[in-house]
């Protein structure tokens, strides 16, 4: 019997990319929570898998040579899972190049910029008393996220998915479209909105997005527990 892939995970957009992919590809997996609010990402056993101290990461006990393989970085994981399953990652060179360019666009652009937008709009107000200090960050990243939404909207004007057929590029980008947290309105981006609905209605996407929902603490909330979680997450230190 095939041993399950270990998914080292917390329910965030980067984590959802991989839980969605595993569900879509029908790969057997076991979720191992990495609670980033209490510092699990700093534990030696996790950093042995993910040297950067970021989730998600995977351990495939049945790697390409029959030996365990550990992998961090969500884009690399998506490529590996696509190769392993033979699904959603084409073998044709031209088609694969289309997927790769949009996958790399997400991991280098959409994710970091939308993540900063989310940080400055959702978390920074609870961390910085003088709101004038965060105003530039809010404007800078909200505007850049708006631009990136526009890139996707134009791309999707004449196709259903980012790289033609549904692929790991869509799985990578979909979790990062969070307009309510990023100061955006999908009414401005009808093609993006249709894509969001199209991808979001897939049963495997629904299942993957729901993985670990019960685990997530609301770091934007008030209270001592949330304050301590923010110190761990944004102060980059383990909770003592």
Residue burial 78-117, b: 16+ Cβ < 10 Å; e: rest: bbbbbebeebbbbeeeeebebbbebbebbbebbbebbbbb
pLDDT per residue over 6-62, tens digit each? 999 999 999 999 999 999 999 999 999 999 988 999 999 999 999 999 999 999 999
Lowest-confidence range among 55-64, 212-221, 231-240?
Answer: 231-240
**pLDDT computed for residue 239 by the predictor:** 47
Yes or no: say if 102 and 169 are a contact pair by the CB < 8 Å rule.
Answer: yes
Lowest-confidence range among 56-60, 136-140, 167-171, 235-239?
Answer: 235-239
The pLDDT-based confidence of 125 (bands split at 50, 70, 90) is confident
Pairing of strands 5-9, 29-33: parallel
Domains of the chain plus CATH, in order, are 5-88+208-235 (3.40.30.10), 93-201 (1.20.1050.10)
- Which has the higher per-residue pLDDT, 4 or 214? 4
CA angle 225, 231, 232 (to 5 degrees): 90
* pTM (2 d.p.): 0.90
Residue 218 has pLDDT above 60, yes or no: no
The pLDDT-based confidence of 240 (bands split at 50, 70, 90) is very low
- In the chain, what is the straight-line distance between the N-terminal and C-terminal CA atoms, in Å? 41
Neighbouring C-alpha atoms within 13 Å toward the C-beta of 228:
9
pLDDT per residue over 75-97, tens digit each? 999 999 999 999 999 999 999 99
**Measured between alpha carbons, how far is 74 from 91 in angstroms, rounded to an integer?**
20
- Using alpha carbons, select from 142, 143, 158 the residue that is nearest to residue 194: 158
Residue 220 has pLDDT above 50, yes or no: no
């Amino acid at each position: 019997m095939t041993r399950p892939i270990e998914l080292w995970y917390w329910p965030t957009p980067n984590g959802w990319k991989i839980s969605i992919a595993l569900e879509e590809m029908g790969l057997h997996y076991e979720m191992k929570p990495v609670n980033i609010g209490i510092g699990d990402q700093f534990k030696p056993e996790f950093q042995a898998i993910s040297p950067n101290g970021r989730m998600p990461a995977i351990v495939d006990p049945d790697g390409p040579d029959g030996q365990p393989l550990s992998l961090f970085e969500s884009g690399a994981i998506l490529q590996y899972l696509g190769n392993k399953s033979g699904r959603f990652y084409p073998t044709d060179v031209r088609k694969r190049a289309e997927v790769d360019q949009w996958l790399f666009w997400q991991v280098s652009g959409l994710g970091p910029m939308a993540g900063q937008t989310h940080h400055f709009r959702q978390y920074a107000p609870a961390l910085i008393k003088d709101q004038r200090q965060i105003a530039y960050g809010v404007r800078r990243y909200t505007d850049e996220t708006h631009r990136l939404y526009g890139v996707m909207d134009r791309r999707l004007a004449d196709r259903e998915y980012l790289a033609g057929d549904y692929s790991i590029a869509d799985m990578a980008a979909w979790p990062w479209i969070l307009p309510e947290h990023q100061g955006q309105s999908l009414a401005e981006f009808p093609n993006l909105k249709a894509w969001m609905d199209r991808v979001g209605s897939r049963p495997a996407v629904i299942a993957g997005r729901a993985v670990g929902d019960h685990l997530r603490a609301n770091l934007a909330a008030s209270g001592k527990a949330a304050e301590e979680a923010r110190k761990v997450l944004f102060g980059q230190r383990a909770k003592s």
